[in-house]
Amino acid sequence: MNRRAYAITQAAVIAAAYVILTLPFAQFAFGPVQFRLAETLTTLAALTPAAVPGLFLGCLLTNLMYPSGLGIIDVIFGSLATLAAAWLTWQLQQRLPQPPAMKLWLRRVLVLLPAAVVNALVIGFYLPFLLPDITVAPLVTISFMFSIFISELVVIYLIGLPLMMAIDKSGLLKQSRFF
């Protein structure tokens, strides 16, 4: 299989996995506290650039398929937040110094941080405007950002980091030249 076909296949599998890991657990995946199991897959952007479009497409399809009532704003900006976070993860992975120049644990923490930060800022900002019965105020918006940040950290570091380390060690995802 040529590199481009391999990268497209990786992206498609990641997109499908994102949908499969979100929709059955939708009651925990949408709202001010979001424990999206699929967010563990954002760690794959540190291993292959094919994860960047795969995560974007998976999030887009998930937000389109789930009738959360949050509308087109969530579909567009939630998906774009995932795209930005995945791209930043890939860029950090490429640009941060390799061990021993930087401690391995610190590198892993920093590389995975964009998903939590970007999603907290973007989704935490618009979500109070989309949910009924929420009085939008600066403190409310900050609390939404904080709760999304914490829930992202939990999913990414408690489940996603061990997943990334296992996949990296197995060699299952070879880095492809998608971009």
Give the distance between the most distant pair of CA atoms in the chain: 54
Cβ atoms within 10 Å of 68's Cβ, excluding its own? 17
Give the tokens for residue 73: 């704003």
pLDDT of 152 strictly over 50: yes
**Residue 89 in contact with residue 115, Cβ under 8 Å?**
yes
Distance CA 61, CA 42 (A): 16
Closest to 156 (Cα-Cα) out of 62, 85, 73: 85
DSSP state of 78: I
pLDDT at 168: 82
pLDDT at 34: 79
The pTM of this model reads 0.89
Burial 32-57, CB ≥16 within 10 A → b, else e: bebebbbbbbbbbbbbbbbbbbbbbb
The pLDDT tens digits for 44-99 are: 999 999 999 999 999 999 989 886 778 899 999 999 999 999 999 999 999 999 88
pLDDT class of 175 with cuts at 50, 70, 90: low
Distance CA 44, CA 167 (A): 9
Distance CA 37, CA 152 (A): 10
The pLDDT tens digits for 132-144 are: 888 899 999 999 9
